[in-house]
Structure 1
Amino acid sequence: MASVLNSTLPLEVWAGVECTVNRVGDEYFDQLEYNGHATRLNDLELFAELGIHAIRYPVLWERIAPNGLENANWSWADERLERLRELGIRPIVGLVHHGSGPRYTSLVDPEFPEKLALYARAVADRYPWITHYTPVNEPLTTARFSGMYGHWYPHGRDDLTFARALLVECRAIALSMQAIRKVNSNAQLIQTEDLGKVYSTPKLAYQAEFENERRWLSFDLLCGRVTPTHPMWGYLHKCGVNDTDLEWFLENPCPPDIIGINHYLTSDRFLDERKERYPACSHGGNGRDEYADVEAVRVCAESAAGPRTLLQEAWERYKLPLAVTEAHLSCTREEQLRWLYEIWSAAQELRTQDVDVRAVTAWALLGSYDWNSLLTRFVGYYESGVFDLRSRSISSGESPHPRPTAIAKMVRDLAAGRQPDHPILETPGWWRRQSRLLYPPVSCQKIEEDKGKDSPPLSLSHSCSPLAIVGATGTLGRAFARLCEMRGITYRLLSRQEMDIANPDSVDRVLDELKPWAVVNAAGYVRVDDAEHEPEVCLRVNTTGAAMLAAACAKYKVPLVTFSSDLVFDGVVSNPYIESDAVAPLNVYGCSKALAEKLVLKANPSSLVIRTSAFFSPWDDYNFVTIALRQLSAGNSFVAAEDTIVSPTYVPDLVHASLDLLIDGESGVWHLANKGAIAWADLARLAAKKAGVSVSNLIALPMRELGLIAPRPSYSVLGSNRGELLSCLDSAMSRYCHECE
């Protein structure tokens, strides 16, 4: 029976913690251990401050009862579920999240359903007040990864293992809900699935049609729809599934109370027999045809289908209440905001058309780890979410304190019924812009039919407030402009002739005309040795100008980010400097930056002051690394200090992190440098090694023998007690060399 939408109830904001416990071989990967939520009860207070109505929350079989139900340890769940209850947040309890259960079972164990049902009953008995459950998250996706692609345990690579895993999971869901409802007859099933679509060339339309039908299998099985006339009945028989296994679902239907749709840009695929157009890693086939399988958003000329289309399709197919149960994008901050807001807007629009969409879920509250390798190995690759965990624990070993990002503010606004109004939302996300295309574009007819439902204009908006970037001729200013272009952030790059930051009238005029949403001060006097001879010029640009700009930004209520240096320190320590360490510059340049920090924050306490160090860029011919490689490649000698230790900074990393912090609304002093401490001479050696250049002409000398005028600290490595946001130096250097090829 069709759902009836009560339009008087607002669209709810849900949230979720990435909590996967998956098995690879004999090793379990546990996201709650990686993100630290396993030991941080006070995270729940941070979640409550968002104003969310419900949270997808783990009471996972593998964590609670790894050694059997009789040995279950409920203490963790007891404490957290009770706290959620006190905070007024409704838990949607998950029992298995991309897992295969404890070691005594698996997704192809015929007794898995009954074993999970016993665990589900124990959960319901212990927490009879809980009303919403997801016994198994994304069963079809998990079955594909575990039974068809071999990524996760039991590492099957055939249709039979896939089909067995899927039917076992779906049967486990139905039996678990039966067991739970014996305790709480009103318990609801929130069943999630990733409904990525497949598009193709005309030749491969048959394969796309098959995969687009198969993606509904978990819902169809639970709804009792897989009858002998169902398009997948014959396929499942061919896999080796018998009639009895399929008929069980006809006799025991368990339709979801809410269908949860998880949608990721990488889930939509495009199939093309013209393999030469695509990288070899995308090549595959089905036994009948060989083809490339790539992300649809990178090749379909009309952009991706989008969340609105998937919600509409699910509604038309089932007429059951819907929710977006995961909304997350691994990307820069403004794109994360655009993605969440696009999904929210699609849900709101559909509700006006009597489509029963109940909620949108801000997923990965604490971010996630190693999804770039599909959780097949742990290397600590982190994607931030509503909160960012790259905080003081990285250097101190303490548990991180989750830092709210701009997404947290958007979630709070949506939950309170406020309209998000950040100017960056006026530009469509990268998945709507032509720059997304990596391959020759192909017109996808189905997407063409949907065009206009999901797609905002593909061109950048030039009417929205720009980001004002001061410093048109410098390395940093040009890098900001370049990466703003890539990120779809409307900007205005200003030369000194257009705005002289040391002239209050000039600053006022430009701010009044441009009305920027923020200002980046990338201008500066950077000639450290020359500053010793012309301190007045250095102080005018670095100190007076920065202070006047800060005062003007305070007057116009415009956020400001400005840059300082590691040279504000004297180098007498042997551990990385953190933001709270006292400054003690040794030279005029360092004095100009230290005084600028003080005056900027006095004039405008909400300013963001970023200290950085020894930056190198693939887009600048005059930085240390580029000059070293140029000289060594030409067979010339190159001299570098062997006893001065710094923390080099890759400019693209610096700019990306600075923009994210600016969008997040951060303020005060932050240290941004790539993780690592290295002498200048060793930095030249590292760059040469990565670039394949000989270091036979590298001359390493003590700093005192280089003939430099300005004194410099022998140690100026930057650490942080606020957040180590940049990657390690080795990774940065590899990317620098790749970009320079």
Structure 2
Amino acid sequence: MTSISNSNKDNTSKQPLEMWAGLECTVNRVGEEYFDQLERNGHDVRLSDLDLFAELGIQAIRYPVLWERVAPLGVENADWSWTDERLERLHSLGIRPIVGLVHHGSGARYTSLVDPEFPVKLATFARAVAERYPWVTDYTPINEPLTTARFSGLYGHWYPHGRSERTFARAFFGQCQGVAKSMQAIREVNPNAKLVQTDDLGKIYSTPTLAYQAEFENERRWLSFDLLCGRINQNHPMWGYLLYCGITQAELEWFLENPCPPDIIGINHYLTSDRFLDERKELYPASLHGGNNQHEYADVEAVRVCAEGTTGHKALLLEAWERYKLPLAITEVHLGCTREEQLRWFLEAWNAVQELRKENVDVRAITAWSLLGSYDWNSLLTRFIGHYEPGVFDLRSEFPRPTAIAKMVQDLATGQNPNHPLLDTPGWWHRQERLLYPAVSRSNFESPPTPLDKGGATVLKSLSPVVIVGATGTLGKAFARLCERRGITYRLLSRREMDITNPTSIDAVLAELKPWAVINAAGYVRVDDAEAEPDVCLRVNTEGAKNLAISCAQHNVAFLTFSSDLVFDGTVVNPYVENNPVAPLNVYGRSKALAEKGVLEVNAASLVIRTSAFFGPWDDYNFVTIALRQLSAGNTFTAAFDSTVSPTYVPDLVNTSLDLLIDGESGIWHLANVGAVSWADFARLAAKRAGVSIKGLITLPTQELGLAAPRPSYSVLGSNRGELLPSLDCAIERYFQEVNC
């Protein structure tokens, strides 16, 4: 198992490593509209979140006291009620706030990043914060000033939407001076106040032709820290560039006279931060094309093309240490990905810090970022589309639900070793499949003659697997496909390899394979045939699932099994939720209802997922695929117009089921794409998207279809535990993207 150490005697750093946390709190402006993450994630109305955060065992939290929220109409009109309540609660919980004043923002409406008075106005607000909370010792007046200046002044994403070097430089300089003046004002109130300054230190790599551009950008990435440390003088590589961009010599010399070196340098690093520049544009999609005044080139995520992968936390922290010899912290660790990859990314950052501390590098903390996840960062917060990335907690439930990351953070904060077997597989950023383009070497720009790294099956064979029961079924095959994609070791078993109706067979397999989880994707699925052979259906669906649950409990193995919307009788008019009483109309539904009850009686830790009418891109026998095949061939296709269901896209179902399994969830969950539609309308939706005529579509009432098993007229699944799957429209769109790729 992966080993870690948090023992002070094992490293030479004088201070113990702290576990920090932070919540995405950006208030950015696009045109005249503000995008407020605290409104989106609901933290602005949930004081109880702070108690959840405290249970993680964190010592400090990056916490917002944001100018735009507290004093949008000026300090004299500030409303402190929200921050009063929350900072007092943090204080009582023993969590040290690292107060942020501007987080990717541009200030109140009466200013902007290019306002010459921005630094003074921010300092006025900073002083008011310090006077109101004199006990607060740690501040980040402005988060990532260089990154914010690029997005606001160079790329035009955020207000004031500049697209020039001059606007970039003015926005950057104003923020850095705002940091320095704010700390001056704060320290006049609290001389012991500390500056925790953050920025993204992603590196740029390139072909030899574009080495000049990479060299420039790699020097520019240090600007925030260099300027605050008073290092930018006439001998500095960026001196001439900043003068060219309109920053005056007097302004630059102000920092030589008023340096404000960080007490802790906070490094943020994401997998998309490192870039590769390549003038061979034809190798990459047009969306990645760009350039400067000298060359046109593609700007690509380095992890997708560089044989060596990304720079990594350890190398970046070491560079910062050697450059400044100031205390360091990783101030954001977040990955928008599947759960096991989020865990792998966090542990990799943690281990990098531990290694550096043993080498006498003064790293003070690591930060579990995005406690409540984040919204719409996939569009760089330029539009409101509702794309949500879970973090330490998942907000798609009624209350913030702790994910497996919460358990890892808690373990690390208390000196425990995370021991999930999925941690022993390298993250996707180390595996072969990460490469979307022809691989190049960062060192010599030559294709490597040997395999790139240890990814793939050779690594997975020796690891503890998840056992997937149901080798011939649609669901079992989908689990195998997506486990392969996610780097989850698995064994896909047929009935010949493990007979779930035979407890002895199950025990023998579990003893041999020693899995960490079992997924029951097998079963009797012929709903109409079950009416004629109920004993067979009950033996497989009910007794088989119960046998698996018993064996998993005995072997201390997690267990996931599936149920159906057909456990309900259709007498309601609103979507069924998990605690609605079951009342199946047919044998198949009864077998599933009895299986749910039996499984949870013998193994309460089991995860039981009810789903409905699934369709997917990888088999030829689901409703959508058959309907399109028949209609496109000019044949007729019959569907019921009076039976309403909630279709479920198989990749969504499988990925979310795996996440819940990794999170250690149990009990009954409903998973279906959000939406309600009749079978007939479902066929119409798919045909319209495919551009197929519906002339051959015949719609009939269910009773005229000649089905042996009665069906509920309404079996839409909702949830009171969390709507984790996206909308049906989104699912249909991704179905066609997958089948057409």
The TM-score, its normalising length taken from structure 2, stands at 0.97
Q: Which residue of 1 aligns with 2:604?
A: 605
Structure 1: how far apart are the matches of 2:181 and 2:460? Answer: 52
Structure 2: how far apart are the matches of 1:472 and 1:308? Answer: 42
1:239 aligns with 2:236: no
Amino acid at match of 1:415: A
Structure 1: how far apart are the matches of 2:526 and 2:391? Answer: 39
1:283 aligns with 2:282: no
1:39–1:447 Cα change, 3 Å: farther
Q: Which residue of 2 aligns with 1:451?
A: none
Structure 2: how far apart are the matches of 1:243 and 1:226? Answer: 11
C-alpha distance after superposition, 1:661-690 (max 9, x if no partner): 000000000000000000000000111111
Amino acid at match of 1:319: K
Contact 1:303 1:447 survives alignment (8 Å): no
Structure 2: how far apart are the matches of 1:550 and 1:495? Answer: 18
Q: 1:533 deviation in Å?
A: 0.4
Structure 2: how far apart are the matches of 1:64 and 1:9? Answer: 34
Q: Which moved more, 1:98-107 or 1:232-241?
A: 232-241
C-alpha distance after superposition, 1:571-607 (max 9, x if no partner): 0001000000000000000000000000000010000
1:711 aligns with 2:717: no
Q: 1:696 deviation in Å?
A: 1.0
1:559–1:598 Cα change, 3 Å: same
Structure 2: how far apart are the matches of 1:724 and 1:512? Answer: 36
C-alpha distance after superposition, 1:207-243 (max 9, x if no partner): 0000000000010000000001100011111112110
Runs of 4+ in 1 over 6 A off after TM superposition: 454-458
1:630-709 residue pairs with structure 2 within 5 A?
A: 630-709=629-708
Amino acid at match of 2:705: L
Q: 1:544 deviation in Å?
A: 0.4
Q: Which residue of 2 aligns with 1:423?
A: 421
1:739–1:523 Cα change, 3 Å: same
Q: Which residue of 1 aligns with 2:194?
A: 188
Q: Which residue of 2 aligns with 1:433?
A: 431
Q: Which residue of 2 aligns with 1:311?
A: 317
Q: Which residue of 1 aligns with 2:536?
A: 537
Q: 1:304 deviation in Å?
A: 1.2
1:141 aligns with 2:147: yes
SS of corresponding position for 2:736: helix
Structure 1: how far apart are the matches of 2:256 and 2:453? Answer: 39
Structure 2: how far apart are the matches of 1:706 and 1:98? Answer: 58
SS of corresponding position for 1:224: coil
Contact 1:304 1:447 survives alignment (8 Å): no
1:334-345 residue pairs with structure 2 within 5 A?
A: 334-345=340-351
Structure 2: how far apart are the matches of 1:457 and 1:717? Answer: 41
Amino acid at match of 1:230: H
Q: Which residue of 1 aligns with 2:166?
A: 160
Structure 1: how far apart are the matches of 2:190 and 2:628? Answer: 69
2:402 to 391, 401, 404: 404
Contact 2:12 2:357 survives alignment (8 Å): no
Structure 1: how far apart are the matches of 2:305 and 2:188? Answer: 50
Structure 1: how far apart are the matches of 2:176 and 2:35? Answer: 23
Amino acid at match of 1:422: H
1:136-535 residue pairs with structure 2 within 5 A?
A: 136-392=142-398, 401-445=399-443, 460-535=459-534
Contact 1:95 1:134 survives alignment (8 Å): yes
Structure 2: how far apart are the matches of 1:637 and 1:341? Answer: 55
SS of corresponding position for 2:141: strand
Gaps of 5+ in 1: 393-400, 449-453
Structure 2: how far apart are the matches of 1:13 and 1:149? Answer: 34
Structure 2: how far apart are the matches of 1:446 and 1:16? Answer: 39
1:577 aligns with 2:576: yes
C-alpha distance after superposition, 1:365-403 (max 9, x if no partner): 0000000000001111100000000013xxxxxxxx100
Structure 2: how far apart are the matches of 1:146 and 1:730? Answer: 33
1:112 to 118, 122, 144: 118
Aligned identity (percent) is 75
Q: Which residue of 1 aligns with 2:586?
A: 587
Aligned residues: 724
Q: 1:461 deviation in Å?
A: 3.4
Structure 1: how far apart are the matches of 2:308 and 2:35? Answer: 38
Structure 2: how far apart are the matches of 1:505 and 1:438? Answer: 45
Structure 1: how far apart are the matches of 2:546 and 2:468? Answer: 16
Structure 2: how far apart are the matches of 1:504 and 1:637? Answer: 46
Amino acid at match of 1:343: A
Q: Which residue of 2 aligns with 1:396?
A: none
Q: 1:10 deviation in Å?
A: 2.6
Q: Which residue of 2 aligns with 1:19?
A: 25
Q: Which residue of 1 aligns with 2:4?
A: none
SS of corresponding position for 1:93: strand
Structure 2: how far apart are the matches of 1:180 and 1:240? Answer: 29
Q: 1:480 deviation in Å?
A: 0.3
1:61 to 44, 53, 67: 67
Contact 2:643 2:679 survives alignment (8 Å): yes
The TM-score, its normalising length taken from structure 1, stands at 0.97
Q: 1:245 deviation in Å?
A: 1.0
SS of corresponding position for 1:182: helix
